[in-house]
């Protein structure tokens, strides 16, 4: 199974963001450098609610290093919803979902078509 590589510090920060925004979702865009996700970018003027997250992608800077998205699920289900799959198909790349209780074992990665990717955490 193909793997997504993410820096440990970024993963820990994303878990912290998910806990801080709970019971609301949060969402962001992932920057990749040399095949490893290194940073998260939160779009300006987001709306993070209990069952969805909205942001204006037109507000994002042109940035070729953005290769994926991340968002949290306030419930324990890490699988993508129909709305998630619709968004994945429009944005492309890798999509990470962090489900409650927001620990490393509740993080999943998906391709745009919803197929599962393995996550490799690097130091």
3-state secondary structure string across the chain: CCEEEEEHHHHHHHHHHHHHHCCCCCEEEEEEECCEEEEEECCCCCEECCCCEECCHHHCCCCCCEEEEEEEECCCCCCCCHHHHHHHHHHCCEEEEEECCCCHHHEEEECCCCCEEEEEEEC
- Give the pLDDT score at 35: 95
pLDDT for 50: 61
The pLDDT value recorded for residue 49 is 47
For the stretch 28-71, pLDDT in tens is: 889 999 999 999 988 766 555 465 555 666 666 778 898 999 99
Residue 26: which pLDDT band, with cuts at 50, 70 and 90?
confident
Residue 9 has pLDDT above 90, yes or no: yes
Residue 27 pLDDT grade (very low, low, confident, very high; cuts 50, 70, 90): confident
The predicted-structure confidence for 63-120, as pLDDT tens digits, reads as follows 889 899 999 999 999 999 998 898 888 777 999 999 999 999 999 999 999 999 999 9
pLDDT score at 53: 55
């Amino acid at each position: 199974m193909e793997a997504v590589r993410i820096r440990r510090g970024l993963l820990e920060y994303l878990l912290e963001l998910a806990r801080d925004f709970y019971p609301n979702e949060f969402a962001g865009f992932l920057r990749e450098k040399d095949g490893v996700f290194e940073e998260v970018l939160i779009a300006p003027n987001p709306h993070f609610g209990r069952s969805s997250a909205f942001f204006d992608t037109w507000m994002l800077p042109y940035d070729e290093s953005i290769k994926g998205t991340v968002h949290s699920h306030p419930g324990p289900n890490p699988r993508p919803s129909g709305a998630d799959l619709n968004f994945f198909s429009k944005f492309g790349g890798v999509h990470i979902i962090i489900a409650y209780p927001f620990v490393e074992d509740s993080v999943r990665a998906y391709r745009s078509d919803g197929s599962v990717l393995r996550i490799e955490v690097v130091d």
